[in-house]
């Protein structure tokens, strides 16, 4: 469920209906994932899951797996 | 670098301890022996503090800078603890104000004449080496306090005044430093021979190549207006390489010394001459600085924009954030008209890149996108143009706006 929801957010932000995400993917793996796209992604994830990340938490995201863990931190029921 | 090239953050005209001096060598040897010889524990940390404080004392002029440094360290650690323990009970805006105050402190301390009588350092200029790097570490520590593990006053003091990075970085992050400071090294054991090789490379790059090339390529002797256009082109196009040799050479030395001590510092350069755009360049050049700007200026500001503004305002405001971030990077180097123009040009280019990506790139057909993204011709042309752009814009802070325009005119054969 979390994987599917997160993938839907990624597909919306990067405008790629065929995008498939994995936990070890990062900005280097998606061509349009630059600094601004990263912020758009974070805000979309926050709004979708009803969370508000701290700046320190956003700065520590290295891959999609880290993003998942952060979402679970705010929405433990999704674990 | 500190006495020849334009002023960079923290450089002051004090009796220096050059990295190629016997004094620095003795300090480094002592630090390496202590860090490698003492068991992990309080004695090792205290010994590091002693070495750090000794090195710092070589650059302190009087009680005033010491008092400011002490206040900054204590205030940062105290605020960090407060934020970590009860940050949720304090409105976010309070911490934003604290960070803004630190930014103001940074610029006011670096330029006592900035903002006239508002500047508290106007009447009492502060001569404190590496002040901006100290403030950056403070900003990082306070902003991230609640996520930092292993917080302690001694660790923070050693982090703030770590002698290899005191003068000009890299601006390491607290959690990485804390891991090595507390004796943990989760990565492979450090091999000494490659480290010695790296230090030797750094010494050659900085004190053999950069120093001699800089003397040769100086655009002030004789006045640049008397130099032939070909010589001007050669001088201007060599500035970036010389600066890279100087700064990366410094980084090689300090990263190497830290590695011998058991500390793996972050890299500051990642093949910057392969950058295909200004945006790409600033992710490869002085990485520790640009990552600080990204994490503590660009990210929170653009997050605010995207979160609070309607979609049609998000893009232009985000471009404004890009521009502001670039101006901050430029003016951090020095608050001169030369750096102001440098920031304007790089900021405009950054905005232009965003506009192209949004409105231009999307109009390329599949074949066009494939060509743009993967053609070696496009890539190498972009690298050459980016190198030329950065080199030419460097001229403005090397020679000032007026003389730079004159030099540029002479380079293209225009004579007033």
DSSP B351-376: HHHHHIIIIIGGGS-HHHHHHHHH-H
Q: Pick the more confident residue, B185 or B25.
A: B25
Give the CATH number of the domain where residue A49 resides: 1.10.1200.10
CA angle B91, B95, B99 (to 5 degrees): 160
What's the pLDDT band for B92 if we cut at 50, 70, 90? Answer: confident
CB within 8 Å: A43 and B143: no
Question: In the predicted model, what is the mean pLDDT of residues B201-219?
Answer: 87
B393 touching chain A per CB within 8 A: no
Rounded to whole angstroms, how far apart are CA atoms B302 and B306? 6
B275 touching chain A per CB within 8 A: no
Rounded to whole angstroms, how far apart are CA atoms B68 and B127? 10
A60 touching chain B per CB within 8 A: yes
pLDDT in tens, B36-91: 999 989 999 999 999 999 999 998 888 999 999 999 999 999 999 999 998 778 88
ipTM of the complex: 0.87
Average pLDDT score over chain A: 89
pLDDT in tens, B266-308: 999 999 999 999 999 999 999 999 999 999 999 999 999 999 9
Residue B187 is predicted with a pLDDT of 59
Kindly report the length of chain B. 416
Residue B367 is predicted with a pLDDT of 84
Q: How far is A72 from chain B (nearest CA, A)?
A: 16
Residues in a beta bridge with B285: B269
Q: How far is B307 from chain A (nearest CA, A)?
A: 6
Q: How far is A33 from chain B (nearest CA, A)?
A: 12
Predicted confidence (pLDDT) at residue B220 exceeds the cutoff of 80: no
CB within 8 Å: A55 and B302: no
Q: Residue written as tokens 């020679």? A: B399
Q: Which residues of B279-306 are buried (b: 16+ CB within 10 A; e: fewer)?
A: bbbbbbbbbbbbbbbbbbbbbbbbbebb
DSSP helix/strand/coil, B72 = helix
DSSP summary character for residue B66: H
Rounded to whole angstroms, how far apart are CA atoms B397 and B387? 16
Question: Token pair of B416, please?
Answer: 């007033």
Question: Token pair of B85, please?
Answer: 């323990």
B307 touching chain A per CB within 8 A: yes
What's the pLDDT band for B6 if we cut at 50, 70, 90? Answer: very low
Chain centroid, CA B271 distance in Å = 16
Residue B103 is predicted with a pLDDT of 94
Residues in a beta bridge with B269: B285
What's the pLDDT band for B221 if we cut at 50, 70, 90? Answer: low
SS3 content of chain A, % helix, strand, coil (to 5): 60, 0, 40
Question: In the predicted model, what is the mean pLDDT of residues A57-73?
Answer: 90
The minimal CB distance from B299 to the residues A31, A34, A39 is found for A39
The minimal CB distance from B295 to the residues A42, A43, A59 is found for A59
Predicted confidence (pLDDT) at residue B11 exceeds the cutoff of 50: no
DSSP helix/strand/coil, A37 = helix
Predicted confidence (pLDDT) at residue B244 exceeds the cutoff of 90: yes
Residue B1 is predicted with a pLDDT of 31
Predicted confidence (pLDDT) at residue B225 exceeds the cutoff of 80: no
Which run of H or E residues covers position B254? helix B229-261
CB within 8 Å: A31 and B279: no
Name B329's Cβ contacts closer than 8 Å, sequence gap at least 6: B282, B289, B290, B293, B343, B346
Q: Which residues of A touch B143 (CB under 8 A)?
A: 55-56
A75 touching chain B per CB within 8 A: no
Predicted confidence (pLDDT) at residue B14 exceeds the cutoff of 60: no
pLDDT in tens, A30-53: 877 888 888 999 999 999 999 989
Predicted confidence (pLDDT) at residue B182 exceeds the cutoff of 80: yes
Which region among B181-195, B260-274, B381-395 has the lowest average model confidence (pLDDT)? B181-195
Rounded to whole angstroms, how far apart are CA atoms B272 and B164? 23
Quote the domain boundaries for residue A25: 2-78
Residue B372 is predicted with a pLDDT of 84
Count CB atoms within 10 A of the CB of residue B85: 11
Choose the mutation target among B147, B277, B301 for the interface with A, i.e. most A CBs under 10 Å. B147
Q: How far is B357 from chain A (nearest CA, A)?
A: 9
Domain count, chain A: 1
pLDDT in tens, B305-330: 999 999 899 999 999 999 999 999 99
The minimal CB distance from B299 to the residues A31, A46, A59 is found for A59
pLDDT in tens, B334-386: 999 999 999 999 999 999 999 998 888 878 888 888 888 889 999 999 999 99
CB within 8 Å: B147 and A56: yes
CB within 8 Å: B147 and A54: yes
pTM for the whole thing? 0.90
Q: Which residues of B touch A35 (CB under 8 A)?
A: 294, 298-299, 302
DSSP summary character for residue B273: G
User: CA dist B103 to B97, B173, B295, B368, Å?
Assistant: 10, 18, 14, 43
């Amino acid at each position: 469920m979390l994987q599917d929801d997160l993938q839907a957010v990624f597909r919306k932000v990067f405008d790629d209906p065929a995008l498939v995400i994995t936990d070890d993917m990062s900005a280097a793996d998606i061509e349009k994932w630059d600094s601004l796209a990263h912020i758009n992604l974070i805000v979309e994830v926050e709004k979708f899951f009803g969370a508000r990340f701290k700046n320190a938490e956003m700065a520590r995201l290295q891959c999609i797996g880290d993003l998942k863990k952060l979402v679970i931190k705010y929405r433990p029921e999704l674990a | 670098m500190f006495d020849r090239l334009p002023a960079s953050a923290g450089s002051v005209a004090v009796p220096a301890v050059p990295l190629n001096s016997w004094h620095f060598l003795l300090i480094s040897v002592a630090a390496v022996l202590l860090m490698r010889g003492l068991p992990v524990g309080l004695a090792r940390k205290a010994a590091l503090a002693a070495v750090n404080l000794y090195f710092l004392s070589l650059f302190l002029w009087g009680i005033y800078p010491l008092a400011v440094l002490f206040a900054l360290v204590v205030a940062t650690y105290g605020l960090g603890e407060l934020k970590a323990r009860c940050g949720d009970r304090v409105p976010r805006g309070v911490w934003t104000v604290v960070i803004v105050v630190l930014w103001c402190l940074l610029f006011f301390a670096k330029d006592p004449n900035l903002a006239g009588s508002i500047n508290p350092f106007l009447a009492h200029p502060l001569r404190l080496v590496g002040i901006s790097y100290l403030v950056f570490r403070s900003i990082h520590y306070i902003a991230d306090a609640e996520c930092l593990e292993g917080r302690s006053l001694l660790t923070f003091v050693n982090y703030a005044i770590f002698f290899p990075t005191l003068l000009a970085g890299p601006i390491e992050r607290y959690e990485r430093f804390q891991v090595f400071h507390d004796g943990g090294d989760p990565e492979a054991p450090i091999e000494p021979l490659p480290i010695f090789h790296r230090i030797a490379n750094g010494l050659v790059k900085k004190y053999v190549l950069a120093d001699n090339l800089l003397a040769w390529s100086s655009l002030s002797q004789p006045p640049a207006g008397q130099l032939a256009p070909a010589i001007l082109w050669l001088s201007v196009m060599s500035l970036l390489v010389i600066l890279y040799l100087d700064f990366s050479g410094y980084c090689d030395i300090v990263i190497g010394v830290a590695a011998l001590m058991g500390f793996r510092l972050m890299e500051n350069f990642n093949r910057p001459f392969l950058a295909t755009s200004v945006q790409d360049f600033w992710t490869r050049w002085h990485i520790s600085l640009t990552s600080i700007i990204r994490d503590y200026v660009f990210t929170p500001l653009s997050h605010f924009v995207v979160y609070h503004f309607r979609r049609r305002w998000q893009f232009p405001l985000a471009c404004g954030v890009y521009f502001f971030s670039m101006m901050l990077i430029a003016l951090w180097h020095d608050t001169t008209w030369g750096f102001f123009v440098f920031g304007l040009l790089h900021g405009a280019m950054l905005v232009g890149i965003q506009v192209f990506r949004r409105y231009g790139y999307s109009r390329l057909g599949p074949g066009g996108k494939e060509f743009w993204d993967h053609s070696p011709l496009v890539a190498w042309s972009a690298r050459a143009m980016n190198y030329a752009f950065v080199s030419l814009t460097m001229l403005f802070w090397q020679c000032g706006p007026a003389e730079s325009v004159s030099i540029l005119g002479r380079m293209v054969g225009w004579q007033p």
